[in-house]
Amino acid sequence: MRFAFVASNTRVAEQARCKLVERYGDTPAEQAELIVALGGDGFMLRTLHAHRELEVPVYGMKLGQVGFLMNKYQLDALPERIDRAHVASLFPLQMEVTDAAGAQHVALAFNEVSLLRQSNQAAHLEVQLNDTVKLANLVCDGLMVATPAGSTAYNLSAHGPILPLDANVLALTPISPFRPRRWRGAILPHRTEVILRVLDPGKRPVSATADFHEVRDVRTVAICQSGAHGIRLLFDPEHNLEQRILDEQFAAE
C-alpha cells in the first residue's frame, strides 16, 4: 500500500513520521492509497480539509493532546492494522455566510459551525429551519450546529447532546442562552437547512466559524449537510468511532 505520512509541527509527531517513513516509505498525497495523520484532533481536522478532494481514506495516530478521532500510535504492523480497520464515513456541514459588506463566504465543517458574539453585547439571532422561523429572537452568547462526529467536542462542552454516528441527525446547541431561558437546543434531521439571521449586527456583531475558518461581522448564515464532500476515516477495531461515541455518554469525567 502507498502511504502518505503527514505530521503536526511538534517534535514528537515529526520524529514519529521519520520512523514510519523509514519503515514503510512515503508517497505524495496525490498518489497515495492512504493518508496517515500524526497528531491530535485539531491536526486531523486540518488534514481532512487539506486533502478532502483527493477522496483518499485517512488513518490517524494520536500524537497530540486530544485524540478522539485518532488511533493509538504504534510503529509496527501498520498494513495489518489497516486491513482490520473499520471505516467511518463523515459528511461535513456547508456554511454559507453573507457578511456586513455583502460579501459571500463558503466553508465546510466536519465538527461544527458556531456563531459567537464579538463584543460584550449578547447576540440576538433569528433561527429558521427550512422555511419556518422557530425562534424569532434567541438572546445568547452564541449558537452552533454540530455533526455526530463533532458532538463530543465543543458541542458537548456547551451541554449539547452526544449523537450516534449513524443517527442521521444534527445538534442545534445554544451557548449561554438568556432568552428563551429554558431553551436548550434541538436535535434536527440531517437534511434540515438552518438559517441564522443576526438581528442587530451593528450594535451586536457576531462571527461565524466552520471548524477553524472564521468570518467576522456576519449578517446571515445558512448551514446544511453536504452530501458531496464525504470522507472516510479508518479506526482500529478496539477504537471504533461509533463505540467511542456511545461510551462517551457513560464517561464519569
DSSP state of 31: G
Please state the separation of Cα 75 from the chain's center in Å: 27
How far CA 34 is from CA of 12, 31, 37, 54, 183, in Å, comes to: 21, 9, 10, 10, 44
Q: How far apart are CA 145 and CA 229, in angstroms?
A: 17
Give the pairing type, strands 3-7 and 34-39. Answer: parallel
Between CA 136 and CA 59 the distance in angstroms is 43
Are the C-beta atoms of residues 226 and 91 closer than 8 Å to each other?
Answer: yes
Distance CA 13, CA 7 (A): 6
Report the catalytic residues.
41
